[in-house]
Amino acid sequence: MNFELFIAKRIIGNKTYKSSVSAPIIKIGIAAIAIGIIVMLIAIATGLGLQQKIRDKVVAFNGHIEITNYDTNASDESQVPISINQDFYPNFKDVDGVKHIQAVATKFAVIRTETDFEGVVVKGVGADYNWEYFKEFLVKGRLPDFTQNRNEEALISSYLANRLGFKVGDKFQTLFTEEIDRLPRIINFEIVGIYNSGFQELDEKFLIADLRHVQRLNKWEADQIGSFEVFIDDFSQIDEKTVEVYKAIPSLMNATSITQKYYTIFEWIKIFDNNTYGIIAIMIIVAGINMITALLVLILERTSMIGILKALGSSNWTIRKVFLYNASYLVGLGLLWGNIIGLGLLFAQKYFELFPLNPDTYYVSTAPVYISWEYIVILNLGTFIACLLMLLIPSVIISKISPVKAIRFD
């Protein structure tokens, strides 16, 4: 029989213990643990969720890695064509972790209506285009179909549609300027779908259309494209995979990751990690201090019992273990309630979107949450261990208690 655990259970199960002087302080300690784990869960889930959502929006328009010709400048328009006949296309077998590669091309254009005009980047995509992300962004209509003959179907953002008064089924003129001294060329596109990624910086820019239009306007051959977009399985390995892709492609081509292309955005979302770490540290310290206070009160309240146990031959460490078992129960109780409430709030936000955000600031309309049992388990274990380590400090006071004085203590 575990003697220390037996004594701890008797203390916890004692009715007078639950109505003692220490009861309110113990409840405060449990509440501090619960509130701490709630705040930490929300901070991690929303921080990771926001990072993932913003990252997915950028990936939707660019892929994880972009392969371009070295002669291409930093603009959004494809200028120097690349042959689509490459060893790495359509299957990038030389690099593990690449799940998809697609050929695209972009060209500046102006949408013209009877009353207004708007500058856009027409992104030409083909039959190999990955529509996975745009399925989530689609708010009206359907996605274009570029698997058959060349057509004038287009996917436009709700931002551009609202500015220009467009709706699904409308046709509009798009002007493409070849050279300054030549008249612009006109293509009449038909809107078959409207998307909204919530990322205005990209929504206000891109119109998705058939790749063959860009090839024809640029007087390219059917096997010439502007760039390749590469998608990988694990975003955390994007830097390593970018280097591997760069080494696997011809010397006249360059590979750029989206973290390099949109450096400021990804540096901004990294700040969320620092904020999350700060919140976790503060919550653990606050919860630990409350539990230290509760344990000190418990020790003082049980001074007579400590004296009797010492008089019967119990060592200081044995008595300390009794109170550490007791404290472990209280920490566990706080973690239990904290997880029930915290996860309840996270699942409610995930499925019912209770808390909105300003998309102009955060690029999303509601607070996204990312729930993973991996970080939940690690957070709970880390909090439990940290609190117990902090509780070793006040338990040292037990070794200072004299049996004679303790038995007489009132």
How confident is the model over 155-214, as pLDDT tens digits?
Answer: 999 999 999 999 999 999 999 986 655 678 899 999 999 999 988 889 999 999 999 999
Give the model's pLDDT for residue 1: 57
On average, the pLDDT of the chain sits at 88
How do residues 27-65 score in pLDDT, each as one tens digit? 888 899 999 999 999 999 999 998 998 899 999 999 999
Cα gap 133→229, rounded to integer Å: 14
Which two three-digit tokens encode residue 360?
């102009």
pLDDT tops 60 at residue 410: no
Q: Which candidate, 255, 205, 222, places its Cα nearest to that of 60?
A: 205
Cα gap 314→289, rounded to integer Å: 28
Cβ atoms 203, 158 nearer than 8 A: yes
Cα gap 383→44, rounded to integer Å: 14
Give the model's pLDDT for residue 125: 96
Which two three-digit tokens encode residue 208?
């998705």
Is the torsion defined by CA of 19, 21, 24, 29 positive or negative?
negative
Which two three-digit tokens encode residue 396?
């040292």
Cβ atoms 128, 102 nearer than 8 A: yes
Cα gap 105→171, rounded to integer Å: 22
* 171-176/98-112 β-pairing: antiparallel
Give the model's pLDDT for residue 165: 92
pLDDT tops 70 at residue 259: yes
Which two three-digit tokens encode residue 69?
């010709």
Q: Where are the alpha helices (DSSP H) in 104-254?
A: 132-137, 158-164, 200-203, 211-217, 238-248
Cα gap 155→305, rounded to integer Å: 77
Other C-beta atoms closer than 10 Å to the C-beta of 24 total: 11
Cα gap 172→191, rounded to integer Å: 8
Residue 96: pLDDT band by 50, 70, 90 thresholds? very high
CB contact burial 64-78 (16+ within 10 A = b; e otherwise): bbbbbbeebeeeebb
Domain ranges of the chain: 3-56+266-407, 71-251
Give the model's pLDDT for residue 273: 85
Q: How far is CA 157 from the centre of its chain?
A: 24
Other C-beta atoms closer than 10 Å to the C-beta of 2 total: 10
Q: Where are the alpha helices (DSSP H) in 63-115?
A: none
Determine which of 15-24, 117-126, 175-184 has the lowest per-residue pLDDT on average: 15-24
Give the model's pLDDT for residue 27: 87
> What average pLDDT does the segment 207-229 reach?
94
Give the model's pLDDT for residue 181: 56
Cα gap 83→147, rounded to integer Å: 20
Read out DSSP for 139-181?
A: EEE-----SSS---EEEEEHHHHHHHT--TT-EEEEEE---TT
Give the model's pLDDT for residue 308: 83
